[in-house]
Amino acid sequence: MKTFKIGGVHPAENKLSAGKAIETLALPRQAVFPLSQHIGAPATPLVKKGDTVKAGTKIAEAGGFVSAPIYSSVSGKVNKIDTVIDASGYRKPAIYIDVEGDEWEESIDRSTTLIKECDLTPEEIVARIKEAGIVGMGGACFPTHVKLTPPPGCKAECIIVNAVECEPYLTADHRLMLEKPDEILVGVSILMKAAKVNRAYIAIENNKPDAIRLLSDKAANYPGIEVVPLKVKYPQGGEKQLIDAVISRQVPAPPALPINVGAIVQNVGTVYAVYEAVQKHKPLFERIVTVTGKSLKNPSNFLTRMGTPMSQLIEAAGGLPEDTGKVIGGGPMMGKALMNTDVPICKGSSGVLLMNEKEAKRTAPQPCIRCAKCVSVCPMGLEPYLLATSSARGDWERVEHEMIMSCIECGSCQFTCPSHRPILDNIRLGKGKVGAIIRARNTKK
């Protein structure tokens, strides 16, 4: 079975909510929309205090080409434009909307009928995706229309749909595939048309045999789409690892992009959002979010309106357990620990994970015993121990030479370290410094 070639680990899967059908979460009383829910320039607000909006009303315009507009997920009145602490832990400008009723924009097709035909030209499709504010929903939040617009000289050869969901605990993508398989396949066909390619691969890890079977059966009716089962290994959902696993090509070091090896990778949630945007005229304002944790009463998958506070999802899943030690936005390997549960669900929020006090505590580090396990598991072929110690010493020249900027921060090294050393913490420190040094050097030129 296919997988990526270098490194990788296999954390306990803990997919507690895999058997739970997607439930629609009740509307929040107030929805909060940070203006930076994507990589690139923040969006600029189009509404002011007191304005009335509907679900699907554009409330902020894209701040540039690499940016995305933001749509209200609820109907009601704009309460204020203020700041909110988002999943990154920083205060960001945000629009607050008080919810009244649930009115949608008339242009949105709310029926569940499958629309297969799409007569739009590739340019029209990309324009509609751009207008709908779609970004990568796996967590990176890179604007989708940018990926579909290859830089001059590059030609896309295939679409790879990232349905790997290699993070432990998360099941949002898995449930989506089981419940919306046709919509996903139509979405893939639309993306193929937009990117002018005739091949697409849907990559699914082998721990989701039901999704592999269902999509393989249905894919027979869609020309050019192939379901590729992959061996379970983390971080297979990393873009570079996924390309290696599926088409056995490796993306050269930055500034090269996946498109340089002919691949466009899109998360399966993004593909579904593309279907809804193109075929149903529905901009991106809802997503599936997994709420999970070993102490949580009822781990679930919720269809959630953007801007809903995480506390509401936790309540709906049985309430915050007494012994909660850490709240994580995303999965346990790459997610971010949150300061409080008021953080709103954004375009990239794939899950909310509650860890109990015992799981949340780190073990005290011991000296590095140079066991080389971090080197063996690094999916980028780096030497994490060296990057960490050199970063801690402040030897920025050395870590840049040792390719610290190639690190994808998957955490495999720290996960596997027998001495429990904070390897990735130190590497992040080094990446930050080296990144600043490189930027300064480039501006001088």
Partner 1 sequence: MTLLSIVMANKLIISLSPHIHSGDSVQKNMYGVLIALIPALLVSFFAFGLGALIVTLTSVAACLFFEWAITKYILKREQTTIMDGSAALTGVLLAFNLPSNLPVWIIIIGALVAIGVGKMTFGGLGCNPFNPALIGRVFLLISFPVQMTSWPQAGQWGAYLDAETGATPLALMKQAIKTGDASVLSDLPSSLSLLIGIPDSCQMGAGCLGEISAGALLLGLIYMLWKKIISWHIPVSILATVFVFSGLMHLANPVYASPIQQLFTGGLMLGAIFMATDYVTSPMSHKGMIIYGIAIGFLTVVIRTFGAYPEGMSFAILIMNAFTPLINTYCKPKRYGEVLKK
- Least Å from the CB of residue 188 to partner 1: 27
Side-chain-side CA neighbours of 47 within 13 Å: the count stands at: 27
Q: Where are the beta strands (DSSP E) in 146-278?
A: 158-162, 200-205, 225-230, 263-267
Question: Which of residues 48 and 361 has its CB atom nearest to partner 1 in the complex?
Answer: 361
- Least Å from the CB of residue 336 to partner 1: 7
Among 27, 338, 387, 434, binds partner 1 (CB under 8 A): 338
- Least Å from the CB of residue 240 to partner 1: 6
* Structure letter (DSSP) for residue 345: P
**How far apart, in whole angstroms, are the C-alpha atoms of residue 237 and residue 373?**
21
- Least Å from the CB of residue 309 to partner 1: 8
Helices (H), 113-203: 122-131, 144-147, 172-179, 181-195
- Give the Cβ contact number of residue 74 at 10 Å: 28
Q: Which stretch binds partner 1 (CB under 8 A): 16-24, 54-62, 278-286, 360-368?
A: 360-368
Q: Which stretch binds partner 1 (CB under 8 A): 29-37, 289-297, 338-346, 434-442?
A: 338-346
* Structure letter (DSSP) for residue 329: E
Sketch the per residue contact string, 283 through 322, with partner 1: x for CB under 8 A, - otherwise: ----------------------------x--------x--
- Least Å from the CB of residue 330 to partner 1: 8
**How far apart, in whole angstroms, are the C-alpha atoms of residue 423 and residue 426?**
5
- Least Å from the CB of residue 163 to partner 1: 22
Sketch the per residue contact string, 156 through 175, with partner 1: x for CB under 8 A, - otherwise: ------------x-------
Helices (H), 281-367: 310-316, 357-360
- Least Å from the CB of residue 389 to partner 1: 11
**How far apart, in whole angstroms, are the C-alpha atoms of residue 403 and residue 127?**
37
Q: Would you say 193 and 118 are in contact if contact means Cβ atoms under 8 Å apart?
A: yes
26 touches partner 1 (CB under 8 A): no
Question: Which of residues 89 and 223 has its CB atom nearest to partner 1 in the complex?
Answer: 89
Among 39, 41, 368, 392, binds partner 1 (CB under 8 A): 368
The dihedral sign for the CA sequence 49, 52, 56, 61 = negative
- Closest C-alpha among 66, 135, 92, 141 to residue 330: 141
Among 135, 404, 417, 434, binds partner 1 (CB under 8 A): 417
Token pair belonging to 350: 């794939």
- Least Å from the CB of residue 39 to partner 1: 18
Sketch the per residue contact string, 236 through 275, with partner 1: x for CB under 8 A, - otherwise: ----x---x----xxxxx--x----x--------------
Residues from 38 through 77 that contact partner 1 (CB under 8 A):
none
Residues from 396 through 415 that contact partner 1 (CB under 8 A):
403, 406, 409, 411-412, 414-415
CA distances to 312, 361, 407, 418 from 356, rounded to whole Å, are 19, 9, 29, 22
Sketch the per residue contact string, 89 through 108, with partner 1: x for CB under 8 A, - otherwise: x-------------------
15 touches partner 1 (CB under 8 A): no
Torsion of CA 44, 48, 52, 58, to 10 degrees: -10
- Closest C-alpha among 203, 277, 101, 302 to residue 311: 302
Task: Give yes or no for a cis peptide into 418 (omega within 30° of 0).
Answer: no
356 touches partner 1 (CB under 8 A): no
Q: Would you say 297 and 17 are in contact if contact means Cβ atoms under 8 Å apart?
A: no
432 touches partner 1 (CB under 8 A): no
- Least Å from the CB of residue 42 to partner 1: 24
**Cα end-to-end span (Å), the chain:** 47
342 touches partner 1 (CB under 8 A): yes
- Least Å from the CB of residue 312 to partner 1: 10
Among 380, 399, 404, 434, binds partner 1 (CB under 8 A): 380
Among 2, 3, 6, 193, binds partner 1 (CB under 8 A): 6
Among 113, 363, 442, 443, binds partner 1 (CB under 8 A): 363
CB neighbours of 201 closer than 8 A, spacing ≥ 6? 158, 159, 160, 161, 225, 226, 227, 228, 246, 247
**How far apart, in whole angstroms, are the C-alpha atoms of residue 303 and residue 308?**
11
The count of chain residues that interact with partner 1, using the rule CB under 8 A, is: 73
Among 115, 339, 436, 438, binds partner 1 (CB under 8 A): 339
Question: Which of residues 362 and 444 has its CB atom nearest to partner 1 in the complex?
Answer: 362
CA distances to 183, 229, 276, 295, 362 from 216, rounded to whole Å, are 14, 10, 22, 35, 42
Is residue 129 classed as helix, strand or coil in its secondary structure? helix
